């Protein structure tokens, strides 16, 4: 899904059968700026199960911290084909708790 607003960066959420990914994408350059997932080295040791809401909370907090370090405050939240509930909602809420606006 392409973003209509080219000025804001897009946080894209992808869920596979085993993992959860959150990627910050710049649609102008078509590159991933930063990401956080259940396979990230800094998260891998903190989780017990790969895909649940507790894990999604950790991924959301981690991407929120990375966005703050980059100086990004406002983004476009792209949930892809996923419904806005469960793990996707948990990632969104965790990022909002870190001060990210969308």
Domain map (residue ranges) of the chain: 9-97
Where does the pLDDT of residue 4 fall: very low under 50, low under 70, confident under 90, or very high at 90 and above?
low
- Give the pLDDT confidence score for residue 87 in this predicted structure: 96
Q: Which residues contact 76 (CB under 8 A, 6 or more apart)?
A: 3, 5, 8, 9, 10, 11, 102
Mean of per-residue pLDDT scores for the chain = 92
Q: What is the mean pLDDT of residues 31-36?
A: 96
Distance of CA 48 to the CA centre of its chain: 19
Confidence tier at 3 by pLDDT (50, 70, 90): very low
pLDDT value of residue 102 = 93
CATH (residue range 9-97): 3.30.420.100
Quick one: average pLDDT of 74-89?
96
């Amino acid at each position: 899904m392409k973003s209509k607003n080219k000025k804001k960066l897009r946080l894209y959420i992808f869920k596979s059968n085993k993992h959860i990914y959150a990627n910050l994408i710049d649609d102008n350059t078509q590159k991933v700026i930063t990401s956080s997932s259940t396979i990230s080295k800094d998260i891998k040791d903190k989780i017990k199960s790969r895909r649940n809401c507790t894990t999604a909370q950790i991924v959301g907090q981690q991407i929120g911290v990375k966005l703050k370090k980059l100086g990004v405050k406002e983004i476009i939240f792209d949930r892809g084909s996923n419904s806005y509930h469960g793990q996707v909602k948990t990632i969104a809420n965790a990022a909002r708790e870190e001060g990210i606006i969308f």
